[in-house]
Structures are given as structure tokens and as C-alpha cells.
């Protein structure tokens, strides 16, 4: 039976949205809080309420917590371990593999693969389903993923991501020719016309109204081929679909990214985005840096473009 927890919004606190109040009171992400509200697990004063409902000082909030769902170990899944030590695991995720399960019992994810090889990962971090991962990649994005093997390492690494001190580098092939580097600093929010997409917002008032998240994407051209440009991309922030949405906003969507209007290319069955570099302060006090070259299928696509 699901566990029910009750907590009071402090009497000296200001009025807050329900989803934000649940996240703060119960120590979960805002996304998890919204999931609980949508599933009918949250009550305010004994009654259900929408995620944007106001919570007033002194209000009692109850949550029917779902049972913890740990990723089922699947050691046979194809994921390359780049590095492993007593504190962290760095893996190279193939395209087509989700980072972690989004619902109980889901298999075939990077978290399943990592827990299959390092069982202690299932017990690390606030969410068992994440298998110790401290960040995520889109399903069709390949490249470097970082997981923590202890709660102390997880907390330290998550703090670095929050402080934007983790160096995250990508390689992206985009439509059109780009001759100079640049920076895109626009907040991102869910597109009201298509829930699958994110959109960059240039209007500050609209961004605030729609709870847009700040995002910064920096890019430099590496080479130009056949009307496309291979970019080296850095993102100090980490918002859903950030690189894809930002580059599409400036008129240079990723090759193969149909969701954001990217053109098709022969031999390319997914968007051309690879997490190629990851550097961070290691829990042992050193500076750790890892790199991953383009996977063979992306090398082939790039090589088929005319110089």
C-alpha cells in the first residue's frame, strides 16, 4: 500500500503554487510534484487541486507516495563503460536508448544497463529509477553519461551541475552554413502547440508567465560540408531539448531532427547530436575530463557530405 505523508505549508510562508509547494515540502523535483498531482496523489485540506492552485500559509498537504521503482538490472544492454572508480561511473550511451525509466517496469534504458553492472547505483540519489545518474541525455542523443556510486558523490556532482561548473561539450550537425561562433541566451518553455517540443522565448513577460527556464548555448563551427555545418557546442545550463530548440530558433536545426524541422540525410535515422566531452571536479579532489568521438554511423553520414 502506498505511503501517505502529511506536511503543513509554514504559517510564516508566502502564498505559493501547489506544484512548487509540494516540491519544497517533500524534497522532490517540480516535475515529480506535477506527476503526483496529475496522478491524483496530492490533497490540500483533504481535496484534490490543480498544479497551479494557490497554497496559503498553514495549509495541510498530503501526498500518497508511490512505491519506489528501481530499474531492473540488464547487464547485457549495449553500453560502453568509459571509466569506473569508487565514486563515479562514466558511460557512453548509444542513440535510441533512454537515459532512465519514465514509468515502473520500463526496460532498455541506460539506468537498467548501469544497475546491471553496478547494483549499488539503484540505491544512490533521491529517485531510485534514475540509477545514480546525475544528468540525462535525450533518447536519440548519444554520448557521455555520468553516474554516482555513493550518495556523497551524487550530492557533490549534482551541486556542480546546479552551479553550472560542469563542462559539457557536444558535436552537432546543423542545416545551413555557419561561419562564426555565437551564444544563444534565451529561456525555454514547453510549446503550448506541441507538448513534445520546447521553444525559445524572447519576450521576458511571456517567459515569466510560462515559467520558462534560463538556458545558454554556445557554439563554434568546426567544418562546413554540403550546406551543413558541424558545430562544437557547450551548454553551462541543462534544459530539456536545449541545444535542439536553441539551434532551431536561429534557423539551423539539427540534421535528422524532424521534431524541430531538421532536414533528413541518407543513412541518418536520428538527430545528429553527440555528447562528446564531460569535465568536472571529481569527488577525490582531482579534475576529471572524458571525451567520446563520434559514433561510426555519424562519421559515415558526415563523410558522405560533399566537401
DSSP 8-state secondary structure symbol assigned to residue 67? P
Over the stretch 57-99, which tens digit does the pLDDT of each residue have?
Answer: 999 999 987 765 667 778 788 899 999 999 999 999 999 999 9
Evaluate whether 66 touches 2 at the Cβ level (below 8 Å): yes
CA atoms within 13 A on the CB side of 155: 3
Residue 65 β-bridge partners: 3
Instruction: With CA atoms as reference, report the closest residue to 274 among 176, 163, 161, 145.
Output: 145
**168: pLDDT strictly greater than 60:** yes
Tens digits of residue pLDDT in 121-160: 988 987 777 889 999 999 999 999 999 999 999 999 999 9
Q: Report residue 249 as a C-alpha cell.
A: 530558433
CA distance 182 to 174: 14
Among 113, 123, 142, CA closest to 254: 142
Question: pLDDT tens for residues 202-255?
Answer: 999 989 888 899 999 999 999 999 999 999 999 999 999 999 999 999 999 999
Contact 228, 218 (CB under 8 A): no
Give the pLDDT of residue 1.
Answer: 47
Q: Sign (positive/negative) of CA torsion 272, 74, 277, 155?
A: positive
Is 194 known to be catalytic? no
> Helix 30-38 and helix 18-26: axis angle, to 10°?
120
Question: Three-state DSSP class for 300?
Answer: helix
**pLDDT-above-90 percentage for the chain:** 76
Grid coordinates representing 301?
A: 553520414
Q: Which one is catalytic: 19, 35, 92, 138?
A: 138
Measured between alpha carbons, how far is 28 from 68 in angstroms, rounded to an integer? 13
User: What confidence tier does 2 reach under pLDDT thresholds 50, 70, 90?
Assistant: low
What are the cell numbers at 260?
A: 524541430
For residue 5, list its beta bridge partners.
63
C-alpha cell, 150: 555513493
In this predicted structure, the answer to whether residue 174 has a pLDDT above a threshold of 90 is yes
Max CA distance (Å), the chain: 67
CA-to-CA distance for 294 and 109, rounded, in angstroms?
A: 21
Q: Note the pLDDT tens digit of each residue in 259-271.
A: 999 999 999 999 9
Quickly list DSSP for 188-236. EEEETTEEEEEEE---HHHHHHTTPBP-EEEEEEEEEETTEEEEEEE-S
Question: b or e along 176-196 (b: 16 or more beta carbons within 10 Å of the residue's beta carbon)?
Answer: eebeeeeebebbbbbeeeeee
Amino acid at each position: 500500500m502506498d505511503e501517505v505523508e502529511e506536511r503543513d505549508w509554514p504559517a510564516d510562508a508566502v502564498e505559493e503554487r501547489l506544484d512548487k509547494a509540494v516540491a519544497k515540502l517533500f524534497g522532490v523535483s517540480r516535475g515529480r510534484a506535477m506527476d503526483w498531482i496529475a496522478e491524483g496523489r496530492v490533497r490540500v485540506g483533504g481535496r484534490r487541486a490543480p498544479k497551479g492552485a494557490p497554497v496559503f500559509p498553514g495549509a495541510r498537504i498530503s501526498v500518497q507516495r508511490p512505491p519506489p521503482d528501481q530499474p531492473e538490472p540488464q547487464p547485457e544492454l549495449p553500453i560502453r563503460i568509459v571509466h569506473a572508480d569508487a565514486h563515479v561511473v562514466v558511460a557512453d550511451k548509444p542513440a535510441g536508448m533512454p537515459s532512465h525509466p519514465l514509468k515502473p517496469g520500463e526496460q532498455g534504458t541506460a539506468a537498467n544497463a548501469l544497475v546491471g553492472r553496478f547494483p549499488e547505483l539503484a540505491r544512490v540519489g533521491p529517485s531510485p529509477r534514475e540509477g545514480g545518474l546525475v544528468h540525462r541525455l535525450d533518447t536519440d542523443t548519444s554520448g557521455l553519461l555520468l553516474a554516482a556510486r555513493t550518495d556523497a558523490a551524487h550530492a557533490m556532482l549534482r551541486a556542480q551541475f546546479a552551479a553550472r561548473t560542469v563542462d559539457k561539450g557536444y558535436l552537432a550537425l546543423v542545416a545551413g552554413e555557419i561561419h562564426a561562433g555565437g551564444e544563444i541566451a534565451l529561456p525555454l518553455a514547453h510549446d503550448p502547440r506541441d507538448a513534445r517540443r520546447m521553444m525559445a522565448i524572447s519576450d521576458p513577460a511571456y517567459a515569466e508567465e510560462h515559467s520558462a527556464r534560463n538556458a545558454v548555448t554556445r557554439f563554434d563551427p568546426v567544418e562546413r560540408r554540403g550546406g551543413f555545418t558541424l558545430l562544437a557546442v557547450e551548454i553551462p545550463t541543462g534544459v530539456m531539448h536545449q541545444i535542439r530548440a536553441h539551434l532551431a530558433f536561429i534557423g539551423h536545426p539539427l540534421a535528422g531532427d524532424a521534431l524541430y524541422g531538421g532536414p533528413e540525410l541518407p543513412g541518418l535515422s536520428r538527430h545528429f547530436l553527440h555528447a562528446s566531452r564531460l569535465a568536472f571536479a571529481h569527488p577525490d579532489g582531482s579534475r576529471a575530463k572524458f571525451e567520446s568521438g563520434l559514433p561510426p554511423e555519424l562519421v559515415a553520414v558526415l563523410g558522405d557530405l560533399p566537401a
